[in-house]
Amino acid sequence: MSEPKTINIGCKTPANVADTLAKTICVQKTNASAWKLLLLGILAGVYIGFGAAFATLVSSDVAAHLGAGMGKLFTGAVFSVGLMLVVIAGAELFTGNNLMLMAALDGQVPFTKVVWKWTIVYFANFLGSLLLVWMFFNTGLWKSSDFATGIQALKIANAKVNIPMSEAFFRGILCNWLVCLAVWMALASQNIVGRIWAIFFPIMTFVALGFEHCIANMYFIPLGIMLKGTGAAAASGLDLANLTWGGFLNNLVPVTLGNMVGGAIFVGLAYWLVYVRPENKKA
């Protein structure tokens, strides 16, 4: 009787992923040229916006048919396409790049350089998000079905600008904890299908639970602001007093800070301490 064959499931260990991030991937990202990060950052802003637009469409009526819980689940499921595009097609996303802290902790690159590259990608993501907002607004698709999509976009944006800043901060932490875990698990996989499933469940989870993602909000809230003076706003019956650029910043600042804590500290720092720190390797 022949010996059973060992099947390679194509998955790296957490220690492999941590070492690769700290010594290779994050170093390459930190040392990448500004123009490359700018272009790839714009693409990432568009890609996350695609997921946000899809989620807006689905959430406009799914809860009425399946109930609130299932509605959130389906909304999160379709939103995950955004990070799939970023990771598999290739782009630079600020929230995922919070893992670059690992390279600085390991002494591979200076921390100031990491912060500078974060800044470039952050504003590039914003430019990409605004580009998609402008393009989607001009499609007129938000007018369909008696403004159903436009009304839902306004509801989402208005809800976000009315979140207390302290709550937005903690929602941001929990969001990017899951986003960076999605990136981490996608890196562990060595095939496309594995990466898709690795991304799908954490992203679905954070959206369904109502956590806050700063780059997604760069699409959601500006689109709502653009829709304020349209028929969708009149049909919504919402009080949109706080749906302003000031309200946008009141959401964006605490969410961004929360995202940085969730990704850089709870994933990047935690796994660097466990798997990469020299004392641990000696042990």
Burial class (CB in 10 A: 0-12, 13-18, 19+), 166: exposed
pLDDT confidence of residue 142: 96
Q: Across residues 207-226, what is the average pLDDT?
A: 98
**Domain encompassing residue 117:** 14-278
Average the pLDDT over 65-71 and give the result: 92
∠ Cα 176 181 182 (to 5°): 95
Confidence of residue 3 (pLDDT cuts 50, 70, 90): very low
Structural domain includes residue 96:
yes
Task: Kindly state whether residue 2 falls inside one of the protein's structural domains.
Answer: no
For residue 220, tell me if it sits in a domain. yes
176, part of any domain: yes
Residue 1 covered by a domain: no
Q: What is the number of other CB atoms lying within 10 angstroms of the CB of residue 132?
A: 22
What does the pLDDT read at residue 281?
54
Residue in the block written with tokens 């698990």: 185
Q: What is the C-alpha to C-alpha distance for residues 104 and 264, in angstroms, rounded to an integer?
A: 11
Q: Is 9 part of a structural domain of the chain?
A: no
CATH code (residue 49): 1.20.1080.10
pLDDT (mean) for 118-136: 98
SS (H, E, C) 203-221: HHHHHHHCCCCHHHHHHHH
| Domain assignment of residue 216, yes or no | yes
